[in-house]
């Protein structure tokens, strides 16, 4: 007995390109996600660099502020000076002066005063100070250099509320490695003297 097998051939449906369109859409989504992640990484690196530059500028400003405050408590003799315009490099403590005018000069409005204080290049007088170990100049990949030396300005504020304690305003600035990051800090410094009674040493 002979067996015959019947095969049924259905007509194939025409392809509509859904696999190709799906693949292209998935590729587009992966590309968009990759670009977004790349931008995020680049943005985070830039932000980390800005934070590092700000910290370097702030550390330099704090160092100059501490130098000026230490100078007030250890070297200052109480004389006020009319400070001449210009930049004075602190080669020794004897060149530092306490100026008889505030750092903002004769600016009368608060906004004008703030604009001068926050822009050290507009200070009429400034004393630049180089801490030990600080490198200054163009930054490169092997050394951490600052674009410029930090500086400060000291002015007399008069007597404090007790009528006996002289007050001074110390303004200082520091600049990061690229020259565009500047930090300015200010302090009000009270110069007090300790008196030991002679009958009770």
Q: What is the mean pLDDT of residues 132-144?
A: 68
Which pLDDT does position 201 carry in this prediction? 53
How many CB atoms lie under 10 A from the CB of residue 57?
Answer: 25
pLDDT band at 134 (very low <50, low <70, confident <90, very high): confident
Which pLDDT does position 142 carry in this prediction? 46
| Percent of the chain whose predicted confidence (pLDDT) is above 90 | 26
Which pLDDT does position 141 carry in this prediction? 46
Q: Are 177 and 134 in contact (CB under 8 A)?
A: no
pLDDT surpassing 60 at residue 139: no
pLDDT surpassing 80 at residue 138: no
pTM higher than the cut 0.95: no
pLDDT surpassing 70 at residue 78: yes
Q: Indicate the domain borders of the chain.
A: 31-137+144-190
Give the Å distances, CA to CA, from 85 to 39, 110, 122, 150, 156: 47, 22, 11, 17, 17
Pairing state of beta strands 145-146 and 125-128? unpaired
| Percent of the chain whose predicted confidence (pLDDT) is above 70 | 84
Which pLDDT does position 106 carry in this prediction? 82
pLDDT band at 189 (very low <50, low <70, confident <90, very high): very high
């Amino acid at each position: 007995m002979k067996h015959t097998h019947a095969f049924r051939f259905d007509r194939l449906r025409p392809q509509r390109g859904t696999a190709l369109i799906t693949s292209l859409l998935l590729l587009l989504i992966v590309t968009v996600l990759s670009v977004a992640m790349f931008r995020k990484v680049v943005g985070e690196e830039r932000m980390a660099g800005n934070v590092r530059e700000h910290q370097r500028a702030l550390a330099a400003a704090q160092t100059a502020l501490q130098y000026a405050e230490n100078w007030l408590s250890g070297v200052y003799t109480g004389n006020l000076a009319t400070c001449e315009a210009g930049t004075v490099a602190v080669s020794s403590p004897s060149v530092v002066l306490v100026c008889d005018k505030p750092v903002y000069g004769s600016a009368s409005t608060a906004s004008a005063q703030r604009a001068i204080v926050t822009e050290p290049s507009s200070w009429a007088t400034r004393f630049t100070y180089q801490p030990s170990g600080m490198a200054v100049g163009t930054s490169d990949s092997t050394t951490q250099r600052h674009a410029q030396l930090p500086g400060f300005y000291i002015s007399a504020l008069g007597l404090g509320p007790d009528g006996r304690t002289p007050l001074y305003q110390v303004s200082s600035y520091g600049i990061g490695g690229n020259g565009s990051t500047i930090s300015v800090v200010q302090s009000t410094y009270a110069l007090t003297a300790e008196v030991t009674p002679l009958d009770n040493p």
